[in-house]
Amino acid sequence: MLELRAITAGYDRRAPAVRDASLTVAPGEAVGLLGPSGCGKSTLARVAALLHRPDAGTLLLDGTPVRRWRHRAPREKRTAFGVVFQQPRLSADPRLRLTDLIAEPLRATGRREAVPERVAELAGTVGLTPDLLTRRPHEVSDGQLQRACLARALVLRPRWLICDEMTAMLDASTTAALVAVVEDYRASTGAGLLAVGHDQTLLHRWCDRTVHWDTVTSAPTGAARPQPKRMSRP
Amino acid sequence: MTERPPVLSVRGLSVRFLLPGGRRIAAVTDAHFDVAPGECLALIGESGCGKSVLASALLGLLPANAQTAGRALLGDLDLLTADERTLARTVRGRRIGLVPQSPAAHLTPVRTIRSQLEETVAELRGVRGRAALREAAEQAAERAAFPPDHLDRHPHELSGGLAQRAATALALVGGAPLLLADEPTTGLDRDLVDRTVDELRRHVDADGDRALLMITHDLAAAERVADRVAVMYAGRIVELADAQAFFGAQGPRHPYSRGLLEALPDRAFTPIPGLPPELGDLPDGCAFAPRCERTTGACTTLPLLTGSVACHHPVPAVTSEDIRA
């Protein structure tokens, strides 16, 4: 169970981007969070993925309150989450070949020996051909890079997936392909999903349940200003 | 009524990038299309299919390793052979207004919207004097529905929608007959997408002499705004159709266009299998054949754009009797 209770978070304590937001995702459940641009939904997703420390409120992971965020969080909590961001160009290290991009979480957690097998397996899953794996981000299209970013998010077999506008930059066919990959992964592992977006048609089709930002938070929509997206890796 | 000449007439436009080691990337191949006054043509396709290269070619903004062939006529001027001086002084901003993909990156980050609008008004319309500039800039902002109380803000202080309007206001200042919008709605939410494309459409409808070429991968935006649709795949235009027929009961006729439309979440939501081919290594025959479920032996030869579709086995056109039946 992933429970966000009365979360207040932001980048300036005087003007939080998220006020008093509460949301629950059950194991195996797919929840879509809908909201307009700049409402603070990405910030809430970052809190849920342990990437942003909230100013107030509680995040419960399987009943245990989370006390540490980002690099201070214990490894088994951090690796329980796979995160896919909106802009693949900003969330991929431009120096890494796609194969190293996908393998990075394995190397960072001391599972180097699993790299050849897992990368090959995941490349097939997300539809990347072997010749694409040797390229760097500037040599592939947005769609191909986002496929690699999704493979990276799945490489540690996370129990939770956080997809923050994963398909906003993509064409219809690539969108459908990546959603199918996420759903196949969830069907085989029982992972839970928090999908954040503004496309109502897409989230209704994709998720078990969609909630609107207004029902999640007590603050009026539009109170927060859009924040610059920061690069971050799970 | 006499047929008015098209605003833009593209004939056999091809763009090749030469890479070290003798590799050639066929980014755009043999594109033919017209954009008429008062018309909106949407150019759609997957990312990396050559759409944005086509836009850069029209503006003379291709990198130095690009080679072009064919013609792109804007009135009497061939955009492909025009020199940089002509393009810079008479075309960009004056005869083609560019609505950019990412307004946040297109606007100057260290100057306010007012200062950028005033500079543009002075440069393109020759307005002089502080009071006159101020008034002209405010009028320009108003045309794109940019709120006057936000004029003194810097680009990073604007939401995505307002930044888009600021960029649109700049594109409209010169009164250019052709508006070229390169992915104007990427990353915007649905309400903002609708508002942005409606505004672009309004500027086309306003005087009837302007034309809009909108490059997008957002099919819903294309459906909302376009009169005609051009579908691009692997650098070639594979279908050129009336938007009503394309999105309506008739549907697209090229298997690729059908696949794209069926991938939408309010339709089948199934992806087209496989990936688009590499533009540096295109097959001799139909580039879509490896992903196509209707492939036949004929697909090893290149299909030409005949009528509205470049395919050896298009979905038959529905006649008006079929629709009524």
Q: Any idea what the CATH number is for the domain that residue B223 is in?
A: 3.40.50.300
Q: Is residue B150 part of a domain?
A: no
Using a CB–CB cutoff of 8 Å, tell me whether B217 touches chain A.
Answer: yes
**Which residues in chain A are closer than 8 Å to B260, comparing Cβ atoms?**
171-173
For residue B218, is it within any domain?
yes
* Model confidence band, residue A14 (pLDDT cutoffs 50, 70, 90): confident
Count of A–B CB contacts within 8 Å?
89
Portions of chain A given CATH number 3.40.50.300: 1-80+160-224
Q: How high is the mean pLDDT of chain A? A: 90
- The pLDDT confidence band at residue B318, using thresholds 50, 70 and 90, is low
B159 vs A90, residue with greater confidence = A90
Q: Is B46 inside a domain boundary?
A: yes
Judge: B161–A179 Cβ closer than 8 Å, yes or no.
no
Q: In this structure, is residue B162 part of a structural domain?
A: no
B269: left (phi over 0), alpha (psi -120 to 50) or beta: left
Instruction: Choose among A142, A144, A176: nearest Cβ to B270.
Output: A176
| A30 contact residues in B (CB cutoff 8 A) | none
Asked if residue B115 belongs to a domain, the reply is: no
Tens of pLDDT, residue by residue over B256-268, are: 999 999 999 999 9
Look at the domain A1-80+160-224 and name its fold.
Rossmann fold (3.40.50)
CB contact at 8 A, B117 and B168: no
Q: Enter the tokens of residue A76.
A: 């088994």
Chain A residues whose beta carbon lies within 8 Å of the beta carbon of residue B157: 225
Q: Which residue of A has its CA nearest to B48?
A: A141
Q: Which of A87, A173, A201 sits opposite B271 (nearest CB)?
A: A173
Residue B270 sits at the chain A interface (C-beta within 8 Å) = yes
Nearest to B264 among A86, A172, A226 (CB): A172
Q: Is residue B246 part of a domain?
A: yes
- B174 at interface of A, judged by CB pairs closer than 8 A: no
Helices (H), chain B: 51-59, 84-86, 103-106, 113-125, 130-143, 160-172, 190-207, 219-225, 243-247, 255-262, 320-324
Lowest-confidence pick of A160-164, A183-187, B54-58: B54-58
Q: Is A225 within 8 Å of B269 when comparing Cβ atoms? A: no
pLDDT tens-digit profile of B6-50? 999 999 999 999 988 888 889 999 999 999 999 999 999 887 788
Looking at CA atoms only, how far is residue B159 from chain A in angstroms?
6
- pLDDT at residue number B321: 52
For the cut 90, the answer to whether the pLDDT of residue B277 exceeds it is no
Q: A174 CA to chain B: closest CA distance, Å?
A: 7
A138 in contact with B at a CB cutoff of 8 Å? no
What does the pLDDT average to over A33-45?
87
> Which range among A69-73, B68-72, B212-216 shows the weakest confidence by mean pLDDT?
A69-73
ipTM value: 0.81
CA distance B222 to B197: 9
Which residues does chain B have within 8 Å of residue A169's beta carbon, measured at their own beta carbons? 47, 186-187
Task: Provide the domain count of chain B.
Answer: 1
Contact A201 B260 (CB under 8 A): no
Query: Could you tell me the residue range of the domain that residue B261 belongs to?
Result: 8-95+176-324
The beta-carbon neighbor of A205 closest among B259, B265, B271 is B265
pLDDT at B229 over 70: yes
Predicted local distance difference test score (pLDDT) of residue A228: 46
**Lowest-pLDDT choice from A114-118, B16-20, B70-74, B76-80:** B16-20
Q: Do B189 and A172 touch (CB under 8 A)?
A: no
A173 to B189: CB separation less than 8 angstroms, yes or no: no
Q: From the CB of residue A38, how many other CB atoms can be counted at a distance below 10 Å?
A: 19
Per-residue confidence band for B111, with pLDDT thresholds at 50, 70 and 90: very high
pLDDT at B103 over 60: yes
**Which residues of chain A from 63 to 122 reach within 8 Å of chain B, CB to CB?**
86-87
CB contact under 8 A, B45 and A228: no
Contact B263 A173 (CB under 8 A): yes
Query: Hey, are the CB atoms on B46 and A176 less than 8 Å from each other?
Result: no
pLDDT, tens digit (0-9, with 9 covering 90-100), for B210-221:
999 999 988 999
The answer to whether the Cβ–Cβ distance between A172 and B159 falls below 8 Å is no
Residue percentage of chain B with pLDDT more than 90 = 60
Query: Which contacts of B127-132 are long-range, i.e. CB under 8 A and separated by 24 or more positions?
Result: none
To 10 degrees, the CA torsion angle through B46, A141, B40, B238? -40
pLDDT of residue A114 exceeding 90: yes
- Which carries the bigger pLDDT value, residue B38 or residue B317? B38
* Parallel, antiparallel or unpaired: strands B8-18 and B24-35: antiparallel
DSSP letter string, B87-118: IIIIIBTTTEEEE-S-HHHHS-TTS-HHHHHH
Nearest CA in chain A to B184: A169
Task: Specify the pLDDT at position B165.
Answer: 85
Choice among A206-220, B75-89, B164-178, B224-238 with the minimum mean pLDDT: A206-220
The answer to whether position B136 is within a domain reads no
Judging by beta carbons within 10 Å of its beta carbon (0-12, 13-18, 19+), is residue B226 exposed, middle or buried?
buried
Each residue's pLDDT tens digit, A161-178: 999 999 988 889 999 999
* Contact between chains at A172 and B186 (C-beta distance less than 8 A): no
Q: Which residue of A has its CA nearest to B45?
A: A171
pLDDT digits (tens, 9 = 90+) for B179-195: 999 988 877 778 888 88
Separation of alpha carbons B37 and A88, rounded Å: 38
At A229 the pLDDT is 44
Distance from CA of A104 to the nearest CA of B (A): 24
pLDDT digits (tens, 9 = 90+) for A130-164: 989 999 998 888 889 999 999 999 999 999 999 99
pLDDT of residue A35: 87
Is residue B250 situated within a structural domain?
Answer: yes
Element (H, E) at A104: helix A98-108
Task: Tell me whether residues A201 and B266 touch, CB distance under 8 A.
Answer: yes
B266 CB near a chain A CB, below 8 Å?
yes
Of B45, B192, B271, the CB nearest to A180: B271
At B196, is the pLDDT very low, low, confident or very high (cuts 50, 70, 90)? confident
